[in-house]
């Protein structure tokens, strides 16, 4: 397997070279990532936000709930190049021009996976996109994604604001052999990758509006 390398940056965002994925997470080096959240319209135009469950073998935040599709920018890649993560992780993609920019954020986190501590410092380029695909139409990358779920935008916003303690989600998970099987999940805010809750609230509102705009423009 080829060793992944990322472009790395100083605190001011200036490029300072490259490092392997392992070095980046061991030393807490700044690097860039791509985030794409998918939303679809359910019955009555209700906005349903799609999110993945990370594989238990991931080197950061194993098993947590996360962005629909996301990934690191490899050395020399642009954000446009990194949009390949959609096809790789969930077997679905659209032309880059159809992604709606949310913005760029800086994130810092730390933890332990498989007994190995990590420090994650990312500059994340965040996008949203409307899809009409049912969850069973996606193809999940077994090494990266354990399942794909959806829940209402209003419920998820309330969850992250602390106005409710749990949300019901429906979706699909990978069964032995790589087939998809229907699944349901009761989730709490802490089941998501640890981030500032304001990030989730803001992105979920953005996706709710994206679904509403798309409906009014269709």
Q: How sure is the predictor about 218, in pLDDT bands with cuts at 50, 70 and 90?
A: very low
- Give the domain range for residue 187: 5-217
Phi, psi values for residue 50, rounded to 5°? -95, 140
Mean pLDDT for the stretch of residues 165-194: 95
Percent of all residues in the chain with a pLDDT value above 70, rounded to a whole number: 97
Q: Specify the pLDDT at position 217.
A: 46
Three-state helix/strand/coil letters over the chain: CCCCEEEEECCCCCEEEEEEHHHHHHHCCEEEEEEEEEEEECHHHCEEEEEEEECCCCCCCCCCEECCEEEECECCCCHHHHCHHHHHHHCCCCCHHHCEEEEEEEEEEEEEECCEEEEEEEEEEEEEEECCCCHHHCCCCCCCEEEEEEEEHHHHHHHHCCCCCCEEEEEEEECCCCCEEEEEEEECHHHECCCCHHHHHHHHHHHHHHHHHHHHHC
What tokens does 161 get?
């604001």
Q: For the chain, what is the domain count?
A: 1
**In this predicted structure, which of 62-76, 102-116, 123-137 has the lowest mean pLDDT?**
102-116
Strand pairing category for 116-130 and 30-41: parallel
**pLDDT tens, residue by residue, 193-208:** 999 999 999 999 999 9
Residue 216 has a pLDDT of 47
The pLDDT mean for the chain works out to: 93
> Please, what is the Cα angle at 70 between 34 and 26, to 5 degrees?
85
pLDDT, residue 215, reads 59
Q: What is the pLDDT at residue 112?
A: 85
- Beta-carbon count within 10 A of 30 CB: 22
CATH number assigned to the domain comprising residue 92: 3.90.79.10
Rounded mean pLDDT, 94-107: 94
| Distance of alpha carbon 97 from alpha carbon 211, whole angstroms | 17
Closest listed residue to residue 32, CA positions, set 50, 43, 18: 18
**Half-sphere exposure of residue 184: CA atoms within 13 angstroms, side-chain side:** 4
Alpha carbons 111 and 122: distance in angstroms, whole number: 14
Query: Tens digits of per-residue pLDDT, 137-168?
Result: 999 999 999 999 999 999 999 999 999 999 99
């Amino acid at each position: 397997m080829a060793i992944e390398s990322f472009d790395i940056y100083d605190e001011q965002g200036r490029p300072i070279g490259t490092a392997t994925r392992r070095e980046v997470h061991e030393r807490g080096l700044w690097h860039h990532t791509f985030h794409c959240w998918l939303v679809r319209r359910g019955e009555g135009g209700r906005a349903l936000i799609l999110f993945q469950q990370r594989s238990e073998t991931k080197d950061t935040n194993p098993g947590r709930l996360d962005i629909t599709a996301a990934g690191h920018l490899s050395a020399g890649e642009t954000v446009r190049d990194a949009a390949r993560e959609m096809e790789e992780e969930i077997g679905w993609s659209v032309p880059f021009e159809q992604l709606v920019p949310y913005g760029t954020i800086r994130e810092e986190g730390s933890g332990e996976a498989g007994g190995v501590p990590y420090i994650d410092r990312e500059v994340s380029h965040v996008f949203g996109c409307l899809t009409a695909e049912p969850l069973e139409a996606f193809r999940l990358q077994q090494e990266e994604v354990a399942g794909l779920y959806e829940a209402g935008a209003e419920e998820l916003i309330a969850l992250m604001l602390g106005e409710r303690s749990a949300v019901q989600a429906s979706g699909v998970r990978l069964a032995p052999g790589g087939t998809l099987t229907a699944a349901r999940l009761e989730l709490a805010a802490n089941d998501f990758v640890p981030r500032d809750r304001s990030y989730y609230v803001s992105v979920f509102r953005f996706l709710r509006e994206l679904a509403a705009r798309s409906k009014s423009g269709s």
